[in-house]
Chains A and B, each alone.
Chain A
């Protein structure tokens, strides 16, 4: 196996890691599997296309997560908050309906074509990694993902809000009794999760090009990552995301016939062995 393939796996794993950490946090707090996460990622990528064309990629890197955070706020205030007494599966199916709506609206605005997004000039070349020339932009994705993951974990461990989020994820009712405003915590988490999806979309735009099927395609992988990692566990989701990215990319080289099946095999194997996933404690 050469280094370039491993790095490709790490780059894909980085995107899955960013996406699945947002999904896992929302799931942990609201108990809802957000089927619209792929559509949020896709919105981020399409917004990045427009912002990059009109301003610059660096602006997109800031604007898109913020715009997606606003969509996340709508999602929380209009749906999750009002429907928290409903069964979580029902709310999950509502997000599936929302995904269909968002993806079609994107189709109406940007059209059905594949759109290229250029990476900024600084990141366009290749870098030398242990003697292998490798596209700088993919290293950039990896760097952002590592920084993001570290910052997120640090923030959850150290800040008061992080403490509240961890408490509310573990037991919403008890933390509400202890004076934590669970609705406000949830707003923060859903906005953050959506913003992370926007960030992943923006980062993915120059890597893969932007196209209408991208949301559904990545959604299934991200769902698998979150379940394999252990539902509601952030660390598990991050590790599983990175692992799946590597397994899929390396598998495509070693077992080209089976590569597409690897995520499903991994899921069935992990759930047969540990029904709550790697790091999960709850079902």
Chain B
């Protein structure tokens, strides 16, 4: 990222203040290079089903892919706003619920349902964002926790049974309609669904990367470091934070809509506190300081869950893993690897590592 110093000092005190806008963030060339990398990654990922060639492991990979949407949305806010949201389940689960409700109760087509779910949930993120983004630190955590739990409580109420099915959940009903050429059996089949999920995931990750490195991202980081100084320098600190919150809600909503299509069924577990914990722990284990941290973390997390689940002590190991990573690898696994490789690189070339 490049930050050029503004031309504030001029020899002539009467000279007009330079109106040139401060240049912040990534250059168009960087955006294009990123796009090429993303396209290559998207295409390369399509080979995964034929390499893995195993239905059980493909199912786990698809779970990791879906969790990655949630951990990326948590990670984006943690990285750029320095805020941890305990309520991303509201958007992930909310969107999945809307897909299932719209296709079954309202008999909408899957396209309409997915569009409605993503737009509706993003609108919800906007409404909630207005309430919560002024808060900082622990206040933000508590408010997002409260709003996630509030959605959970609404969904499990008896009076909401007609819509949400209370504890029984809702099944999607796509019938013989198709979504992007995929029928119900294709959507449920992880080897087929992987292709759609992977391309969307790479696209979303690319968008997050561009957003984080753009002028917008730089302003967010400035606000994170010193809100008062940013405000003093003439930047609006509320709108960028709100936009980041809504964007992060949008990412979770996209993941949730895909979840609804893939599983064809939602239950309140999708909205509860432990599910939010899954997304956060996956993001932390991967590393919050690096964009790809939560991405990798989600796959690692789901893999570890699959390995340890047989013994029934899933949350014991989850807890141990998260404590160990937080205590000994504060940058997460990806963060630690990138720090180590940078150190290795600098010791080989004899140059000081760049912070």
Contacts and interface: CB of A to CB of B under 8 A. Distances in A.
B partners with A: yes
Interface of A: 27, 33, 79, 83, 86, 88-90, 92-94, 96-101, 103-105, 108, 216, 220, 223-224, 227, 231, 257, 260-261, 263-265, 267-268, 271-272, 275, 283
Contacts of B178: none
Given A90-B326, A267-B146, A105 B316 contact: yes
A93 B142 contact: no
Contacts of B240: none
Closest 8 CB pairs between A and B?
Answer: A100-B319, A104-B316, A97-B322, A101-B319, A97-B323, A264-B150, A264-B146, A260-B153
Given A90-B326, A96-B322, A103 B315 contact: yes
Contacts of B322: 93-94, 96-97, 100
A97 B326 contact: yes
Contact of A220 (B139, B273, B327): B273
Contacts of B316: 100-101, 104-105, 108
Contacts of B150: 261, 264-265
Given A101-B316, A264-B153, A93 B137 contact: no
Contacts of B84: 89, 93
B153 A98 contact: no
A27 B142 CA distance: 14
Interface string B117-139: 00000000000000100111111
A90 B285 CA distance: 12
A263 B153 CA distance: 11
B101 to A, nearest CB: 20
B320 interface: yes
Interface in B288-341: 313, 315-316, 318-323, 326-327, 330
A96 B137 contact: no
Q: How large is the interface on B (under 10, 10 to 19, 20 to 34, 35 or more residues)?
A: 35 or more
A268 B281 contact: no
B280 A97 contact: no
Interface string B137-167: 1110111011101100110010100000000
26 contacts: A27-B138, A88-B138, A89-B84, A92-B141, A93-B84, A94-B322, A96-B280, A98-B323, A100-B318, A100-B319, A103-B315, A104-B316, A105-B316, A220-B273, A261-B150, A261-B153, A264-B149, A264-B150, A265-B150, A268-B131, A271-B139, A271-B142, A272-B131, A275-B134, A275-B139, A283-B137
Contacts of A261: 150, 153-154
B138 A33 contact: yes
Interface string B266-292: 000000011001001100100000000
Contacts of B157: 257, 260
A108 B321 CA distance: 18
B147 A268 contact: yes
B282 to A, nearest CB: 12
A108 B313 contact: yes
Contact of B141 (A83, A89, A94, A257): A89
B23 to A, nearest CB: 31
B138 A227 contact: yes
A33 B322 CA distance: 17
B327 A83 contact: yes
A275 B323 CA distance: 30
Interface in B88-108: none
Contacts of B313: 104, 108
Given A220-B149, A268-B146, A98 B319 contact: yes
A108 B319 CA distance: 15
Name the residue among B136, B280, B319, B321 with the largest chain A CB count within 10 angstroms.
Answer: B319
A257 B159 contact: yes
B137 A267 contact: no
A223 B134 CA distance: 19
A33 B143 CA distance: 14
Contacts of B134: 275
Given A98-B319, A101-B319, A261-B153, A224 B284 contact: no
Given A216-B273, A275-B134, A93 B326 contact: yes
Contacts of A220: 145, 149, 273
Nearest to A83: B327
Contact of A271 (B143, B159, B319, B326): B143
Contacts of B315: 100-101, 103-104
A227 B326 CA distance: 25
Contacts of B320: 97, 101
A270 to B, nearest CB: 10
A176 B137 CA distance: 25
Nearest to B274: A216
Given A97-B320, A97-B321, A275-B134, 18 more contacts: A83-B327, A89-B84, A92-B138, A93-B280, A94-B327, A96-B322, A100-B319, A100-B322, A103-B315, A104-B316, A216-B273, A224-B146, A227-B142, A260-B153, A261-B153, A268-B143, A271-B139, A272-B131
A43 B320 CA distance: 18
Given A96-B277, A98-B319, A257-B159, A283 B142 contact: no
B276 to A, nearest CB: 10
A75 to B, nearest CB: 12
A220 B323 CA distance: 20
A134 B89 CA distance: 41
A90 B330 contact: yes
A98 B135 CA distance: 26
A227 B319 contact: no
Contacts of A99: 319
Contacts of A260: 153, 157
